[in-house]
Amino acid sequence: MASKKPLILISNDDGITAPGIQTLVKVMKKIGEVVVVAPDGPQSGMGHAITVANTLRLDKSTAFPDVEAYECSGTPADCVKLAKHHVLKNRQPDLVVSGINHGSNSSISVLYSGTMSAAIEAAIEGLPAIGFSLCDYGHEADFSHTEPFVEQIVRQALKHGIPVNTALNVNIPKNSATPIAGIKICRQAHARWQEEFDERLDPNKRRYFWMTGSFVNSDKGEDTDEWALANNYVSVVPCQFDLTAYHAIPQLNNEWELEEKPEMKDKKITEKAPN
């Protein structure tokens, strides 16, 4: 008797008609049963925004032949929430995948990424999740070379699992004459965007600002996502939603002079992360 196909939920931040999600659906259909819940338009750079003061709309979509699909008026995080609690109801996805994003989400970009917010939201919901991004901002970006790497990583995740409370941030180099060297498990590089704001005037002479700037990577480590991508590797960074800086807790406990009730003195937290 054939084993049951895994249930795979797909979302993204570029919108349900984006080329990246078309590629992701194509690959996932080879692996399991696919359900798509994605934004009805671009939601890039939304981070982990959720809709709390406006209506959310969810409509059936015909974007993918033979695939159950819905388009949502909300953010990527909204899409995952609606998928789990409304669309799938009592069905538990075996995996949630987001992307393939049109552009890099390496290093600090993970904090701004709508693609990764969908994956992180899934992890918050207790679901294994992966966000995929292609490091190519070109209008005619080629996603075809991503397919074998996406398939390999997804099959490994389904076979071996993903650590609890963790989402994988996968970035794939752009297609070039140089073959991709392989896949590396990495840490997030200590890098950031150095923003500038260009002051301009619109046709009505009203002032507005346009954000510009450059990416600054001061991390020289050879175990980072930026190093992997620069050397033509696919980078895989395990991400967590617990933002506690555990290493800072002992310093704050030891150096800060804070009022404390006597009965609480023996209940200070330590730097050890919870299991």
Which backbone phi and psi does 33 adopt, to 5 degrees? -80, 130
Supply the angle between the helices 19-29 and 147-160 in degrees, to the nearest 10: 50
Element (H, E) at 77: helix 76-82
Distance CA 186, CA 79 (A): 28
Q: Was 44 annotated as part of a binding site? A: yes
Q: Was 14 annotated as part of a binding site? A: yes
Q: Within 10 A of 136 (CB to CB), how many other CB atoms are there?
A: 19
Q: Was 13 annotated as part of a binding site? A: yes
Q: Was 59 annotated as part of a binding site? A: no
With beta carbons less than 8 A apart as the criterion, state whether 97 and 129 touch: yes
With beta carbons less than 8 A apart as the criterion, state whether 77 and 113 touch: no
DSSP track, 131-163: EEEEE---TT---GGGHHHHHHHHHHHHHH---
Would you list which residues are annotated within the binding site for a divalent metal cation?
Answer: 13-14, 44, 101
Would you list which residues are annotated within the binding site?
Answer: 13-14, 44, 101
